[in-house]
Amino acid sequence: MSLLHALVARGSVILAEHQGPGDRNFSHAAQTVLSKIPPNNSKLTYVWQEYLFHYIADNGYIYLVMADDAAGRKMPFAFLVDLQHKFTDLPSTSSAALDSTPAYGLQGTFGPAVGALMHTYNTAPPADDIARAQHELNHVKDIMVQNVEQILSRGERIELLVDKTDTMATQATAFRRGARQVRRQMWWKNGKIVVLCGVVALFVLWMIVAQFCGAGLNQCGGKS
C-alpha cells in the first residue's frame, strides 16, 4: 500500500481520519505533524522515518496523508486535491457548523469517505486526477520560468542603462574639458586681436600725424 493514513483537520483538531490496514497506529505521528504546520495556506511534505506526510493547508483546514517513500509526491497530492473537493462538497461543511465541530465530530459521516478514497488510490488511482496534478505542477513551473526570464531581461536592461549612463557621464566630462580648452584658446585669440588692433591704430595715427609734423614728429613744435 502507498497511502497509509489520511485525515481532515481544523488546525490541530482532527475532524475525520482513516488508517489503512496494518498493526502500526500512526495517529500520534499525524498529530505531531499537525502541530508543526503553520496557519497560512501552504503545500508541503514532512519526512518522518521512512514515511512522508504530505499536506494541503487551505483557509484553516488541513488535508493530510501519510504515504511511503515509493509513492512519490504526484499521487499523494492528487489524492489530497480530491479529498479537499469531497470535503468542501459536503452539505454540512458550512463555516459556522465546522467552527463548532468537536474533535472527530465528522468521523462517522466523512471517515468512510476518506477510507474509500484511500482504497481507490491504493488500488487504481484515477489517471485524470494525477494528470491534473501534474498539469498544475507544470503550469506553476512554466510561470516560474517566465518570471525568471522577465527578471533576467529586466536585469539586462538595467545593466544596459547603467552602461549608457556611464558613457554619457564620460562624454560630458570630456565635453566640459574640451569647452574649457576652447575658451582659453578663444581668449588668447581675442587678446592677440586686441593687441594687433591697438598696434594698427597707433600706426595709422602716427602716419596721420607724420604728414604734418614729419616722420620724426619734430616739425610741429617749431611752428608758431
pLDDT in tens, 166-195: 667 677 777 777 777 878 888 888 888 888
Q: Which of 17-31, 39-53, 95-109, 201-215 has the lowest mean pLDDT?
A: 201-215
pLDDT of residue 143: 46
The residue to which cell 585669440 is assigned: 189
Q: How far apart are CA 206 and CA 214, in angstroms?
A: 10
Q: How many CB atoms lie within 10 A of CB 210?
A: 14
Q: Check: CB of residue 31 under 8 Å from CB of residue 104.
A: no
Q: How far apart are CA 129 and CA 77, in angstroms?
A: 9
Crossing angle for the helix pair 74-88 and 127-213, to the nearest 10 degrees: 100
pLDDT of residue 56: 92
State yes or no: pLDDT of 160 exceeds 70: no
pLDDT in tens, 188-224: 888 888 888 888 888 778 777 777 776 666 666 554 4
Average pLDDT over residues 29-40: 86
CATH dotted code for 3-125 = 3.30.450.50
pLDDT of residue 140: 53
Q: How far apart are CA 8 and CA 156, in angstroms?
A: 48
Q: Check: CB of residue 34 under 8 Å from CB of residue 62.
A: yes
With 0.75 as the threshold, say if the pTM is over it.
Answer: no
The pLDDT confidence band at residue 155, using thresholds 50, 70 and 90, is low
The residue to which cell 497509509 is assigned: 4
The pLDDT confidence band at residue 124, using thresholds 50, 70 and 90, is confident
